Amino acid sequence: MNSSSSARSATRTVAVHATRLAVILLLGGFLGATLVRVAPGFGTDESDLDSRLSQQSMQALRQSRSSQDSLAGFYVRYLGRLLHGDLGTSRTLQQPVTQLLKDRLPETLKSVGLGLALAWTLGLTLALASVMSRSWFVDLFGSLLAGVLLCVPAAVMAILFVIAQAPARLVLGLIVFPKIFRYARNLLARTAAMPHVLTARAKGLGGTRVLLWHVLPVAAPQLLALAGVSVSVAFAAAIPVEALCDLPGIGQLAWKAALGRDLELLVNLTMVVTAVTLVANSASDLLGNSARAGAV
Amino acid sequence: MRQRLVRLGVLLLFVAVTGAAFAQSGSQLRFCLHSEPKTLNPVLMADESSETVRYLTGGVLMRLNRLTQQLEPELATSWKVSEEGKTISFKLRAGVHFSDGTAFSADDVAYTMQQLMDPALHSPTGDSFRSAEGKVITKVEAKDRVTVIFPAPVVGLDKLFDQVAIMSASSPKKEMAVLGPYYVAENKAGSYLLLKRNPNYWKHDAAGVQLPYINSVRLDIQQNRDVEMLRLVRGEIDFINAVDPEYFDKLAAQAPGTVTEAGVSLDSEQMWFNQVASSPLPAYKKAWFTSTNFRRAISNSINREDLARVVFRGHAQPAVSWVSPANKVWFNAKLQPHAFDQKAALQMLANDGFRLQNGVLRDREGHAVEFSIITNAGNKYRERMATMIQQDLAGIGIRLNVVTLDFPSLIERITRTFDYEASLLGLVNNDLDPNSQMNVWLSSAEQHQWNPEQKTPATTWEAEIDKLMRAQASTLDQKKRKQAVDRVQEIVWQQEPFIYLVNKNAMSAVSKNLRNAHPVVLRPQVYWNIDQLSLGSEVAQNR
């Protein structure tokens, strides 16, 4: 295969991924909007019970909320605005969605980034130590830790951190860690038992060399896939953690938007979370493919 | 020499550490908001958090002293309400400036009134002034004199100005330029608001020291009440404005001396039956719910004393009617809470043809009496009340099903679809004047929750309430108003469209470091005298 055809193939792959991403993003947004629209209580507001408001004000406010009544109409209008870079205004927080995302997304990215760093450092280190050292103690310790953390619900863990005055961002790391440890340990153990690795060991290759030359290259595509999945897991966990620990990120925003049936905000948040998940998965796919190609 | 240097170093370190601790505790008041303020525009504020910001930053013409319940001059040194109650004239304080240095004048009052009464803005504060259709006219007579003319008499007109934060007509900072003790210096979305002392605040204490004493106020947005209590115990916040009974008892045990019970509040908890004619309920249930005997029997079957004692741990009183006993002026003292009397209840039900068969109450047509009550999920006190009511009603053979819904779903059912049988909710009341509840008692009103927006009153007693409420709203004669409001309380007590259950007590928790705090029943319970509050260390500084 010459260089121009491989470039064409790479471009085609990226284009396919980008198209798939755009279609899923639009579908995700539409499904999100549909769920909010059909949820009981859509279009209501606490001001419906405000006895200070006059009859006229109450009716006018209700009418302004019912302008979002048609789902298809809303979505078409939304997409039209989206093309001009306008994400609309949150009904419950009375602020432009762009501003809300600008304020909140960095907080969540910080939490998710820190959580993933902790989870991967801890998970991969323990998995490697368990597989390479072949020590029952390390394996038992890692398995027990992962098992316990897997059993504790995210919300409980968040509350425990608040009580202990520990940085709440670390909760995300502890939520993602068991998944990474268990998958990585099983994968590495399977790879380490492959014939070529056993041969390498039998020929007297050192542990580090076996790991770097014979185990990790084979396990890399699946580890990269796991990286993509771990981003989705961390984002999903950010919602209860941020809501309970009062971290002002998009997880907390999503919680409030869901409680307030804030269509405009929820559609945008769905799009953002879908985009982050898809980009992470696509990136891990692409990197995994390259790793696989490299390994071949 | 070396030893001296070491000692000096240790001393400097000590000074730095204690200084930092001193500065942190002495310069900033901290407390929690339970949600993010929806707006910082004082005209549009409706939610509790926004109103907190308005109270701390907004300068008002007069302020209701929450302790004495009397109006006191603020930006207006004097005012006069005309005899017919349509006009109010203010004499304004001279030499006052907004937080950004812009001078305050009568033009600002005119501008604020124009914004407030703009029909397109739907301001809840503005709507409180609307007693009739027509334009509100503001006449600026001099730099320090202004008159506001309303199209019709407004009862309690002067007291309504307690909620009106004056905005600048000319400041480039618009509504962010304020006349109150603090201004918003920082707003970290979803996290906190930092308010700093207004350098141009006009008030001084008796010794001539400019108020407020506290340099800044940090409002942390903290939804979780457990965490809020934990933070108070740890000393991270200085007070909790309204404490739940459970937390009150915990704090009383953990940190005695921090909690205060100011007495019964204006807030009530009540249940009601759906009496909407077009609701999707079977006809026989509609007949039950519209029967006075049925409602009164249910009321008599509920043990209010137990609700107050068990659910609210004794920090509530059995409720009587729609005016709380805390409202000394307007409460009808002749009325008593309905007694727990299930025999009397069964008698009343028998008058309507109900009969008890094998422990099950049946109506005239043989339908077993069973209905559901909806309340908002997550409110443990309402959930517990519903459970206790369920047990009480089982005593007269009624099966009650408790359904908890999230708030939007509940609002949808009680205001739009009317797909519910009974509801249990509370009323948060900030206003002493019963006129503020016009939208609840008029049969044509949207907030007339048991049967809203009636074209003509469905019952004779509702027609009488309409007449009495309109009568009290159209006269400034206090005696006549009191007679009308007393009669409405009697009718509500007899007919029980709302079955009033309990009035909760007003409870607060205040750190010992906060000085001059006198928690009261009226909101805002703890910081109503914000410009007089000081923190332990600052008292020493100021004296």
Residue pointed to by tokens 């000692």: B7
ipTM of the complex: 0.78
Pick the more confident residue, A256 or A4. A256
A180 lies in some domain: yes
Where residue A162 sits, what CATH number does that domain have?
Answer: 1.10.3720.10
A56-70, A251-265, B227-241, B306-320: the lowest-pLDDT one:
A56-70
Whole-number pLDDT of residue A225? 87
- Return the sign of the alpha-carbon dihedral for residues B54, B55, B56, B58: positive
Min Cα separation B341/chain A (Å) = 33
Contact A52 B224 (CB under 8 A): no
CB contact under 8 A, A104 and B47: no
Q: Please give the full DSSP string across B237-283, using - where no structure is assigned.
A: SSEESS--HHHHHHHHHHSTTSEEEEEEEEEEEEEEE---TTSSS-H
What is the reported pLDDT for B33? 95
User: CA B95, CA B79: separation in Å to the nearest integer?
Assistant: 18
CB contact under 8 A, A41 and B412: yes
**Per-residue confidence (pLDDT) for residue B163, from 0 to 100:** 92
3-class SS of residue B31: strand
Q: Residue B127 and residue A100: Cβ atoms within 8 Å?
A: no
Q: B294 with B367: CB under 8 angstroms?
A: no
Highest mean predicted confidence (pLDDT) among A186-195, A197-206, B199-208, B217-226: B199-208
- The encoded tokens of residue B415 equal 């205001």
- With contact defined as beta carbons under 8 Å apart, do A267 and A131 qualify? no
Question: If you average pLDDT over residues A94-122, what whole number do you get?
Answer: 92
Asked whether the CA dihedral B437, B439, B441, B446 is positive or negative, the reply is: negative
How far is the alpha carbon of A44 from chain B, nearest alpha carbon, in Å? 6
pLDDT band at A3 (very low <50, low <70, confident <90, very high): low
Say if the Cβ atoms of A259 and B221 lie within 8 Å.
no
Residue A73 lies in a domain: no
Q: Is A294 helix (H, G, I), strand (E, B) or coil?
A: helix
pLDDT under 70 in chain B at which residues?
Answer: 1-26, 537-543
SS3 label, residue B511: coil
Backbone angles phi, psi at B95, to 5 degrees: 75, 20
Count of other CB atoms within 10 angstroms of residue B78:
11
Residue in B381, B382, B262 with CA at minimum distance from that of residue B326: B262
The counts of H helices and E strands in chain B are 17, 21
Of B216, B123, B122, B121, give the one whose Cα is nearest residue B165. Answer: B123
Nearest to B297 by CA among B231, B356, B380, B229: B356
The DSSP 8-state label assigned to residue B234 in this structure reads H
Give the confidence band of A67 by pLDDT, cuts at 50, 70, 90.
Answer: low
Residue-level length of chain B: 543
Could you tell me the two tokens for B373?
A: 């009550």
The DSSP result for A5-16, as a single string, is: HHHHHHHHHHHH
Query: Would you say residue A235 lies in a domain?
Result: yes
| Residue A113 within any structural domain of the chain | yes
Domain carrying residue A18: 3-42+87-295
Q: What pLDDT does A68 receive?
A: 57
Token pair, residue B376, equals 């908002």
Q: Give B461-469 contacts, CB < 8 A, sequence gap 24+.
A: B461/B491, B461/B494, B461/B495, B462/B497, B464/B491, B465/B441, B465/B491, B465/B492, B466/B441, B466/B442, B469/B438, B469/B441, B469/B442
Compute the average pLDDT of residues A98-116: 92
Query: Any CB–CB contact under 8 A between B130 and chain A?
Result: yes
Domain assignment present for residue A57? The answer is: no
Chain A residues closer than 8 Å to B236 by CB: none
What pLDDT score does B200 carry?
A: 97
Residues A78/A271, Cβ–Cβ less than 8 Å: no
The nearest CA of chain B is from the CA of A252 a distance in Å of 8
Q: Which range is most confident: A18-32, A120-134, B398-412?
A: B398-412
From chain A, the residues in CB contact with B124 under 8 A are: 47, 50, 52-53, 57
Closest CA to A184 of A142, A128, A134: A128
Q: Indicate the residue type of B231.
A: R
CA angle A189, A190, A193 (to 5 degrees): 85
Instruction: Say whether A40 and B416 touch across the interface (CB within 8 A).
Output: no
Interface test with B, best of A35, A53, A163, A261 (most B CBs within 10 A): A53
Taking CA–CA distances from B128, the nearest residue in chain A reads A52
- Residue A71 maps to a domain: no
From the list B113, B429, B123, the residue with the least C-alpha distance to B267 is B429
Counting residues of chain A whose pLDDT is more than 90, the rounded percentage is 24
Q: Is residue A53 part of a domain?
A: no
Q: Residue B447: its chain A contacts at CB < 8 A?
A: 49, 51
Contact B317, B325 (CB under 8 A): yes
- HSE toward the beta carbon, residue B384, CA cutoff 13 A: 14
Angle between helices A263-295 and A216-245 (to 10 degrees): 160
Alpha helices, H only, B28-179:
48-57, 106-116, 124-127, 157-160
Alpha-carbon B163 to chain mean position: 12
* Ramachandran angles phi, psi of B239, nearest 5°: -165, 165
Among B497, B425, B433, B423, CA closest to B465? B497
Tokens of B71: 């109006």
Helix (H) or strand (E) holding B356: strand B355-357
Strands B87-92 and B137-142: unpaired
Does A52 fall in a domain? Answer: no
| Contact between chains at B411 and A48 (C-beta distance less than 8 A) | yes
- Number of domains observed in the structure of chain A: 1
> What is the DSSP secondary-structure string of B35-60?
S--S---TTT--SHHHHHHHHHH---
pLDDT greater than 90 at residue A136: no
How far apart are the C-alpha atoms of B6 and B14, rounded to whole Å? 12
SS3 A242: helix
